Amino acid sequence: MKIWKAILVACLFLSGCTDSETKQEDKLIKDYEFYIGKVMSNHSKNVAVARSIEETYKHHVLLLKDLSKIKDSFSAFTGKDRLHKTIEIYHDSLSYFVIRQVQIIELGMPIWLNDINMLAKLKDETFYQQHQELLSGLLSMIDEFEDLMMTHHETIRLKIVSSGLSQQERQKHWTFFERVSSKNLKAMSVTLKPIKIRAEGQVGVAQFLYENKNDYKIDPEEGLVFSSKALTIKYNMRVNSMMRRLDSEKMYGGTSR
């Protein structure tokens, strides 16, 4: 809440400022970058200490809202071409980063090891194939994420070069963008690890269940029940292996399902 009050105060001040138009616009651009840097920095800190994928997801959604609020606040100034070009560069580029991350997190959130209905559905071939394809797609998105972001970096660099801004402004914008985006990507790399571990683990567990679909049942009281102790042990070994990987990295999701 404080950040939006600060933006409002800054906007009201500048609306009555008697400085030259150039100085006013310079101040607006500086303030815009300050608030972008602030929300991006706070986001990285929040994600670093998040205790669940769901909590991380909420931080990403909040970041998208904050970026839009900042854009709307500063876009209200008319006749500020350099400011509007700056907003276009930062908002579009950073929003793309976050939206792509939200897509991955949304696919990586569900964990169904205690979902009796899901375990029962995995007996069905069509459902099983769709489930595996979904997780395979998620793993591909994770593996391609770094290359995709590098390509996006180059797109933004070219956008800055062709923006019509001065060389000094272009250099300043690129330096700023690299700084805030690198913090974001570093925080996201922490998020991707548990998502990938859980997805890989669930692919293996689902495969095991489908291959042994005639040897397990869902009991209303006992839950998942295998026809033999050996299968029970193998199943638990697969599940425990995934959870140990999460716990060894001290990642969220390692002690609860």
The pLDDT tens digits of the residues spanning 67-79 come to: 999 999 999 888 8
Give 136-172 pLDDT, tens digit per residue.
Answer: 999 998 988 878 888 888 888 888 888 888 888 888 8
Which amino acid is it at 256?
S
Distance CA 165, CA 130 (A): 49
Nearest to 88 by CA among 21, 32, 38, 42: 32
Q: What is the pTM of this model?
A: 0.75
Give 34-70 pLDDT, tens digit per residue.
Answer: 999 899 889 888 888 888 888 889 999 999 999 999 9
CA dihedral 188, 194, 199, 205 (to 10 degrees): 180
The beta-strand segments (E) located in 88-238 are: 216-219, 223-226
Residue 6 confidence (pLDDT): 56
Residue 25 confidence (pLDDT): 87
Q: How confident is the model at residue 10 (pLDDT cuts 50, 70, 90)?
A: low
* Mean pLDDT of the region 179-198: 82
**Contact present, 119 and 218 (Cβ < 8 Å):** yes
In percent, the amount of the chain with pLDDT more than 90 equals 28
- Per-domain boundaries in the chain: 2-248
